[in-house]
């Protein structure tokens, strides 16, 4: 990448991949000239939409207004997280870390999310990951305030949590080396002070990997994984095999 400034056009046209987007976003925070150019060219690109004007079917209006009526709005940009003393300094990787939680293309061409060099082998989990809201995942990973934390899974593997206060959400990726035996499954939990652990979903029997978007994640203190009977439990019944403090 000899001259990153020249990427402004492709960036504005959404013609870059997620990694280039993340690195250009980082560049934009440092380069005022590109910031001004991108703001202006974004206006220009939006004008290209003038040529596509097309009246949507009337039911779209009803559907949108109905969904809006039950959709909570996000507050204006959240206040920066207050620094609090911690037993261990969290690794604040910001964008370089987010960029390493990348969208990669599997052999079949299906978009899947993988964490660094971890291999996500479970076919069904891959399909599931591809279906889970990609735009939302990208949005969270690209947030300027994203924080990435990881913990090992007992028995091998990792749980990675990327969390953004700005979006009031996080992405939890689990990739274990092996599935629990005896018809048991992994189950994800979020832990919040003063309330019972909340289930964020149980995996299927034999499933070792999963990706999920957890709305409201920054309000939680930990993400934990336990081994539970097939179908999952209402509350954790075993000691966590992985726990990620947030």
Partner 1 sequence: MVEERSAKRRLTAVPSAAPPDVGDLLGSVARGDEDAFGKLYDLVAPRVFGLVRRVLRDPAQAEEVAQEVLVEVWRMAARFDPARGSASSWILTIAHRRAVDRVRSEQAATSRSIVVGVAAVETPYDAVADEVQGRLERQQVRRCLEDLTELQKQAVTLAYYQGHSYPRVAELLGAPLPTIKTRMRDGLIRLRDCLTTEVTA
Q: Which of 30, 32, 33, 47 binds partner 1 (CB under 8 A)?
A: 47
Minimum CB distance to partner 1 smaller for 14 or for 30: 14
Residue 221 Cβ vs partner 1, minimum distance, rounded to whole Å: 26
Site for partner 1 in 5-24 (CB under 8 A): 6-10, 12-17
Minimum CB distance to partner 1 smaller for 63 or for 221: 63
What gap in Å lies between CA 7 and CA 41, rounded to an integer? 12
Residue 83 Cβ vs partner 1, minimum distance, rounded to whole Å: 23
Residue 35 Cβ vs partner 1, minimum distance, rounded to whole Å: 9
Name 101's bridge partners: 115
Torsions phi, psi of 222, nearest 5?
-150, 155
**Strand ranges in the chain using DSSP code E only, listed in sequence order:** 101-105, 111-115, 147-152, 157-164, 169-176, 184-191, 198-202, 209-215, 222-229, 242-245
What gap in Å lies between CA 227 and CA 34, rounded to an integer? 49
Nearest C-alpha neighbor of 170 from the set 67, 98, 71: 98
Nearest C-alpha neighbor of 42 from the set 18, 9, 4, 3: 9
Residue 237 Cβ vs partner 1, minimum distance, rounded to whole Å: 36
Judge whether 159 and 172 are in contact, CB under 8 Å: yes
Residue 241 Cβ vs partner 1, minimum distance, rounded to whole Å: 32
Nearest C-alpha neighbor of 5 from the set 28, 99, 14: 28
Sequential DSSP letters for 126-151: HHHHHHS-HHHHHHHHT-TT-EEEEE
Which residues are CB-contacts of 198 (< 8 A; sequence separation ≥ 6)?
189, 190, 191, 192
Sequential DSSP letters for 211-236: EEEEETGGG-SEEEEEEEETT--SS-
Q: Which of 25, 134, 145, 150 binds partner 1 (CB under 8 A)?
A: 134
By CB under 8 A, residue 31 contacts partner 1: no
Residue 68 Cβ vs Zn ion, minimum distance, rounded to whole Å: 37
Residue 74 Cβ vs partner 1, minimum distance, rounded to whole Å: 6
By CB under 8 A, residue 46 contacts partner 1: yes
Q: Give the per-residue contact string, 76-105, with partner 1 (x = CB under 8 A; - = no).
A: xx---------------------------x
Q: Which of 32, 33, 69, 82 binds partner 1 (CB under 8 A)?
A: 69
Contact partner at residue 31 from partner 1, Zn ion, none, CB < 5 to 8 Å by partner kind:
Zn ion
Interface ranges with Zn ion (CB under 5 A):
5, 31, 34
Minimum CB distance to partner 1 smaller for 153 or for 171: 171
Binding site for partner 1 (CB under 8 A): 6-10, 12-17, 39-57, 60-61, 63-65, 67-69, 71-77, 105, 108-111, 130, 134-135, 138
């Amino acid at each position: 990448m000899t001259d990153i400034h020249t990427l402004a056009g492709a960036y504005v046209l959404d013609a870059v991949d997620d990694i280039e987007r993340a690195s250009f976003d980082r560049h934009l925070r440092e380069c005022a000239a590109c910031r001004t150019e991108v703001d202006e060219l974004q206006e220009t690109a939006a004008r290209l939409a003038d040529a596509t004007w097309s009246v949507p079917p009337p039911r779209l209006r009803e559907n949108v207004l109905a969904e809006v009526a039950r959709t909570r709005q996000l507050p204006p940009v959240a206040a920066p997280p207050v620094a609090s003393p911690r037993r261990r300094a969290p690794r604040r990787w910001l964008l370089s870390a987010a960029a390493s939680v990348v969208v990669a293309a599997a052999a079949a061409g299906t978009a899947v999310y993988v964490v660094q060099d971890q291999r996500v082998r479970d076919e069904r989990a891959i399909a599931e990951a591809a279906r889970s809201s990609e735009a939302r995942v990208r949005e969270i990973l690209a947030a300027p305030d994203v924080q990435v934390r990881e913990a090992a899974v007992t028995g091998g593997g990792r749980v990675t949590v990327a969390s953004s206060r700005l979006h009031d959400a996080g992405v939890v990726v689990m990739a274990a080396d092996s599935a629990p035996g005896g018809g048991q499954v992994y189950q994800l939990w979020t832990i919040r002070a003063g309330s019972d652990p909340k289930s964020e979903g149980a995996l299927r029997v034999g499933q070792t990997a999963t990706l999920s978007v957890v709305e409201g994640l920054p309000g939680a203190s930990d993400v934990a994984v336990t081994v539970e009977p097939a179908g999952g439990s209402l509350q954790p019944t075993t000691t966590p095999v992985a726990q990620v403090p947030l």
